[in-house]
């Protein structure tokens, strides 16, 4: 079976002065390198300064991994220089949130431990870091005997992450 790459196309609604919406949509940037495998997904959010961010799945490293890009000076730039998940398993279903001070957080499902579990990292300005112990290793934050999927990540005003997910265990 022949596989065709799927490319992310991002369009945003332009805002005119005084909070009025424009009558047209505009594509911003080119994510031609952001190939999404058919089983993958992505999440889009906007930081407090108005910067768009996307977390997405790509197989460019050989297996499905999570990447985050942000739109800066008319181009999409990879946050952290590499992938977020960095695992031997298949990483899918990213959920992205940006704190009020502009720090990206990502939750995703990964099957490195056998069955899918939920993992979380944040970008500390230098690298993608774990939140506490084993948030992105071992069995992650879910540590379930079943399949943990579809994470939903949110941050409160202090930047505390909250994650919900479905679980069959």
Per residue in 114-142, pLDDT (tens digit) is: 999 999 999 999 999 999 889 999 899 99
Model pTM score: 0.84
Determine, yes or no, domain membership for 21.
no
For the residues 9-36, what does the mean pLDDT come to?
56
Determine, yes or no, domain membership for 109.
yes
Q: Give the side-chain half-sphere CA count within 13 A for 11.
A: 6
Side-by-side strand order, sheet with 128-130 = 91-98, 104-110, 117-123, 128-130
Instruction: Tell me which residue of 92, 95, 47, 94 sits closest to 71, measured CA to CA.
Output: 47
Q: Identify the pLDDT of residue 128.
A: 98
Chain segment 28-82, per-residue pLDDT in tens: 777 655 555 555 589 999 999 999 999 999 888 788 999 999 999 888 899 998 8
Is-contact 104 96, C-beta < 8 A? yes
Determine, yes or no, domain membership for 26.
no
Determine, yes or no, domain membership for 15.
no
pLDDT over 50 at 83, yes or no: yes
Domain count, the chain: 1
120 bridge partner residues: 107
Is-contact 141 130, C-beta < 8 A? no
16 secondary structure, DSSP code: -
Least confident span in 2-6, 23-27, 47-51, 86-90 = 2-6
Tokens of 106: 């990502």
Q: Identify the pLDDT of residue 38.
A: 53
Domain that includes residue 149, residue range: 34-167
């Amino acid at each position: 079976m022949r596989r065709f790459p799927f490319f992310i196309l991002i369009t945003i609604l332009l805002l005119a002065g005084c909070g009025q919406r424009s009558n047209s949509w505009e594509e911003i940037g080119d994510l031609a390198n952001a190939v999404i495998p058919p089983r993958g997904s992505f999440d889009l959010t906007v930081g407090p300064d108005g910067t768009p961010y996307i977390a997405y799945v790509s197989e460019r490293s050989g297996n499905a991994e999570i990447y985050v890009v942000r739109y800066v000076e008319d181009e999409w730039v990879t946050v952290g220089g590499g992938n977020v998940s960095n695992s031997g398993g298949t990483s899918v279903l990213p959920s992205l949130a940006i704190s009020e001070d502009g720090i990206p957080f990502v939750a995703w499902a990964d099957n490195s431990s056998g069955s899918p579990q939920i993992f979380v990292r944040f970008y500390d300005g230098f690298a993608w870091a774990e939140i506490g112990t084993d948030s992105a290793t071992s069995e992650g934050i879910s540590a379930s005997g079943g399949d943990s999927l579809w994470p939903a990540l949110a941050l409160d005003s202090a930047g505390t992450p909250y994650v919900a997910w479905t679980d069959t265990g």
